[in-house]
Chains A and B, each alone.
Chain A
Amino acid sequence: MNDRAQYEPVIGLEIHAQLRTRTKVFCGCGTAFGAPPNTQVCPVCLGLPGALPVLNRQAVDYAIKAAIALGCDVQPQSIFARKNYFYPDLPKGYQISQYERPLALGGGLEISAGGGKRVGLTRIHMEEDAGKSLHEGFPDSDRRTYLDYNRSGVPLIEIVTEPDLRSAAEASEFFARLRDILVWLGVNDGNMEEGSLRCDANVSVRPVGQRAFGTKTEVKNVNSFRYVQKALEYEIDRQIDLLERGGRVVQETRLWDSASGRTSSMRTKEEAHDYRYFPEPDLPPLMVDAGRLDAVRATMPELPEARRRRFVAAYGLPEYDAGVLTQSPALADYFERVAVAAGNPKAASNWVMGELLRVLNERGAGIEGVPLPPAALAGLIRLVDAGTVSSSIAKDVFARMYESGRSAEAIVAAEGLAQIDDETALLAIVRDVVAKHQDAVAQYRAGKQATFGFLVGQVMKGSGGKANPKLANQLLRRELGA
């Protein structure tokens, strides 16, 4: 094997993200995933002669939103262009994309890998997706390719990074952070299995200290964080091995195969790579003025990083809690409502991260449809803080609230779950325990301290978990000391 440490990988990513519109980018066909083949098609997205594209306003607004969130400069004028090539998933013979004048330039995103760094973005442009080619699974698949154009014309943004990434781990983290932001903004559903978010990587290696880039390959089809990592590790090793053995890297497109864990050269019958871009004559330039930028900016949620910092600063939460609670805007909103209503942010965080997420995970449910309003959970926290219920009973109350939608106060009152603070009532239970467990009492009095815990447990059990633990301790010590 070679010495990997002598080489430095250089990686740039191209990420295609489907914008979460109801309809396609240039026609009114639906974008639902999994529809029967060729049922979401029309003359425009089938490329029939004479059909004319009309741009989807929402797709533009989503693209602008992503660009703003990633710190890009949204261009006052961008131009759609035809990218010409023959491949049957593009029925028009060209893809409508943006080339010389993309929607947005620059921008970047912080990652923590590699000691923390900012990964620059080159550009974000809008384009249409192609149809889906089915190369296998039919009796004549050795001679034929089948096509479903439901995806044809689905709106995408392509996000291109600078070659700033220096390891597979950095690339994987970048992809994950980018996904979080796009999902958080609501512009992409983050679903990599359904192809809503796809990643291609440009990879080269160079001897450490060399400034010039090595020859790169483009690795396609790395559509999960794990695959980004594994495919890049494989490709980096492959290139280093080649160089170490005196070979050279060939500039080519390689396809990642997750089953074999390898990349292999991808060859198609379309060898000509001259896209002959020219401005799309069927679409006017896309003008984005300051008013439109402001209007989109007004719909931007507070971004996860900013919200995480605010949760730490304003509510005194540990970094860990703030990270968990800012997984999604809905979860962060929920927490914040509970924290404010309960007046106890740390308790709110514990309940939301603990019981609530546990129950949601168990049921495979999301926070969006949770039957327990934030005010109700805050009510329970106030009962605990006031000493009305013990924290163990509170978990029980939580479960009942979740099932019934009743308030904590109502459940505690109806089920008699309030903590027993009444000394007379509790003393009766303590005396009963002492009388029933004479052996344990004798052991304790002989000096075996651990037995005390057992006796407290018996008192709690005798009270149905409702005894005020502090008072139970006091009374038991008094009785045993007597």
Chain B
Amino acid sequence: MIASPAVAPTLTSADVERIAALAHLELTAEEKALFTRQLADILAYAEQVQAVDTSGVPATAHVLAERTEREDELQPSLPREEALANAPDPAPEAGLFRVPRVIT
């Protein structure tokens, strides 16, 4: 029993700007307009799903219901050169990763 959404979801350009900022993305004006429309479509679909009556149906957080845990046993770590190999700006002599300074 899927009902059509009563209210069309509203998503403003300001919402998209905020989501982009949280994701550290810079968007052009065209992209903003495009993503506003596309995200609104996705929300509309979600609204449609939410219209299903799920009272009395337990929430499924995951499709695997059984316990999947590992024993507390040591496994080999990566050799450090390998760990640092794909880093954009490593400091191999110190064995450290390096990024632009993050505190003011």
Which A residues are within 8 Å of any B CB, using their own CB? 21-23, 27-30, 36-43, 46, 54-60, 79, 84, 86-88, 133-135, 138, 141-149, 267-270, 272, 274, 276, 279, 281, 283-285, 287
Contact = CB atoms under 8 A, between A and B. Distances in A.
Contact of A39 (B22, B77, B89): B77
B32 to A, nearest CB: 18
Given A28-B75, A146-B91, A54 B69 contact: yes
Interface residues of B, number: 36
Nearest to A29: B77
Given A27-B75, A29-B75, A285-B62, A38 B80 contact: yes
Contacts of B84: 38
Q: Per DSSP, are chain B's interface residues mostly helix, strand or loop, or mixed?
A: loop
A84 B23 CA distance: 9
Contacts of B70: 28, 54-57
Chain A CB count within 10 A is highest, among B72, B73, B76, B98, for B72
A37 B101 contact: no
B75 A284 contact: no
Contacts of A287: 67
Contacts of A39: 77, 80, 95
A38 B97 contact: yes
Main secondary structure of the interface of A (DSSP, over half): loop
Contacts of A84: 22
A105 B95 CA distance: 41
Interface of B: 21-22, 24, 61-62, 64-78, 80, 83-84, 89, 91, 94-104
Given A23-B75, A42-B75, A279-B61, 17 more contacts: A23-B72, A23-B74, A38-B96, A39-B80, A39-B95, A87-B102, A133-B102, A135-B101, A135-B102, A138-B91, A145-B101, A145-B103, A146-B97, A147-B96, A268-B102, A268-B104, A270-B102
CB-CB nearest 7 A-B residue pairs: A28-B75, A58-B72, A57-B69, A147-B97, A284-B62, A146-B96, A37-B95
Contact of B83 (A22, A38, A60): A38
A274 B94 CA distance: 34
A41 B103 contact: no
Nearest to A59: B72
